Amino acid sequence: MRVVCSIAGSDSSAGAGIQADLKAISACGAYGATVITAITAQNTRGVHAAYELPVDLIEAQLDAVFDDLHPAAVKTGMLSSAGVVQTVARALRRRTELPFVLDPVMIAKSGHALLHPDAVACLRRDLLPLATLVTPNRHEAEALTGVSVRDAATAAAAARVLLADGCRAVLVKGGHLDTRAATDVLVSADGVMLFEAPRLETPHTHGTGCTLAAAIAAFLAQGASLCDAVQRAKLYVTEAIRAGLALGAGHGPTDHFFYLRGTDTEAWLQALGLRAPSAATPAASRGERLD
């Protein structure tokens, strides 16, 4: 059982943050350990309060997890401040051999800021060069690069700016792009790959970014290539959205264990690479090379 360490904030509604990461990591075949950076009071309607944990406690959590559980991959989410970013960066510089998925969580769906403005430059300078993959949405890509992102071409342009900062690959998520399909754009030294899925008309999308990044980290921990990990995670999160849960009065969460609630559990386990493939495997979205 491979361990994935999620370094992120706690979401009391359990749709995003640490709680979503744990569910996604477990659903995708790995074991989730956590380093909590902040505690938020939130529900499906928004973030109502947030408290950043002291950096010495964050550092103690990092040491406790890495010294005993020996993670095979790391995923970060809400880091809140420059001090937290620097604390996490120091820990990861000692472990550069680990696949590291950086989800640059900046703003909640409700508009609540989750990353202080002074921490943005720190994130780019100290943490981004350590990342195997960075997974910004459209708005995060724009804030990090200054590039106006609208479609796959401009998403790729923004991703190249981030590649110049030293990360190995960038996946600009397609939920907010002006494209017919939900098209995620993966850019690395190998070129540009597009991963498409149908747009689903549902309000229940709370935590989708956390879920996607955590799923990618889980597959990387189990030895998948980056392209394969993205492809499988895209399939997983699309179906989790399709099965979204109508909980609360706002944006409900995705269903992280959708494949346990039907008659095709075995087929979905095969599609996600958690069982040997067979003829019954659902068709996964294949990456399409753009260049």
211 counts as catalytic: no
Global pTM reads 0.92
pLDDT tens by residue, 276-285: 665 555 555 5
Burial annotation 279-291 (CB, 10 A radius, 16+ → b, else e): eebeebbebeeee
Pairing of the two strands 73-76 and 100-102? parallel
- Catalytic choice (135, 208, 254, 281): 208
179 counts as catalytic: no
- Catalytic choice (87, 210, 244, 287): 210
**What tens-digit pLDDT sequence spans the chain (291 residues)?**
999 999 999 999 999 999 999 999 999 999 999 999 999 999 999 999 999 999 999 999 999 999 999 999 999 999 989 999 999 999 999 999 999 999 998 876 655 667 888 889 999 999 999 999 999 998 999 999 999 999 999 999 999 999 999 999 999 998 777 778 889 999 999 999 999 998 888 899 999 999 999 999 999 999 999 999 999 999 999 999 999 999 999 999 999 999 998 888 999 999 998 886 655 555 555 566 666
210 counts as catalytic: yes
Going by C-alpha positions, the residue among 126, 25, 123 that lies closest to residue 79 is 123
Q: Distance between CA atoms of 231 and 184, rounded to whole angstroms? A: 10
CA distances from 103 to 115, 132, 134, 184, 208 (A): 12, 11, 6, 14, 11
Architecture of the domain defined by 3-289: 3-Layer(aba) Sandwich (3.40)
- Catalytic choice (173, 234, 244, 287): 173
- Catalytic choice (205, 238, 254, 281): 205
pLDDT tens by residue, 37-69: 999 999 999 999 999 999 999 999 999 999 999
154 counts as catalytic: no
80: left (phi over 0), alpha (psi -120 to 50) or beta: left
205 counts as catalytic: yes
Helix (H, G, I), strand (E, B) or coil at 30: coil
- Catalytic choice (209, 252, 273, 287): 209
